[in-house]
Amino acid sequence: MKKSYDLTILNQPLTIKSDGDEKQVKKVADYVNKRMHEIVTSKKAISTANVAILAALNIAEDLFNERRGHSEKVRGWVARFKELLSGKEVAQPELKKERM
């Protein structure tokens, strides 16, 4: 069941409905708000519509970069599993620490 949430994005009050829990909705709203404020502080005299468009593009780029990173990890795991299954043990470099 969808619940209503009162949010503020770019100093604008907003009520949304979501199936998400309050913590997740707040986390997403905070992320969008942060990205929009980054654009506002880096540009002068920009319309709210342009801020929203630029924020959407930046967020989409974040998403695509995350997906690419996950795909690369999965390809690496598949290659490693194939090596293990074929009996060819290959030394593996240290794993990079995950970013949060």
Mean pLDDT, residues 5-17 taken together = 94
Hey, which bits of 1-100 come out as E strands? 3-9, 12-18
- This prediction has a pTM of 0.66
**Other Cβ atoms closer than 10 A to 68:** 10
Identify whether 81 is part of a domain. Answer: yes
Task: Please indicate, yes or no, if residue 9 is contained in any of the structural domains.
Answer: yes
Would 53 be classed as within a structural domain? yes
**C-alpha separations of 13 from 6, 24, 44, 88, 91 in Å:** 7, 18, 22, 59, 55
The total number of structural domains in the chain stands at: 1
- Give pLDDT tens digits for 32-85: 999 999 999 988 778 989 999 999 999 999 999 999 988 899 999 998 888 888
In a domain, 96, yes or no: no
Residue 99's pLDDT band, with cuts at 50, 70 and 90, is low
DSSP string, 3-20: EEEEEEETTEEEEEEESS
pLDDT of residue 86: 87
Q: Examine residue 75 and state whether it is found in any structural domain, yes or no.
A: yes
Residue 93 lies in a domain: no
- Establish if 78 belongs to a structural domain: yes
In a domain, 100, yes or no: no
> Is there a contact between 6 and 29 (Cβ–Cβ < 8 Å)?
no
Query: Residue 63: what pLDDT?
Result: 93
Residue-number span of the structural domain to which 72 is assigned: 3-86
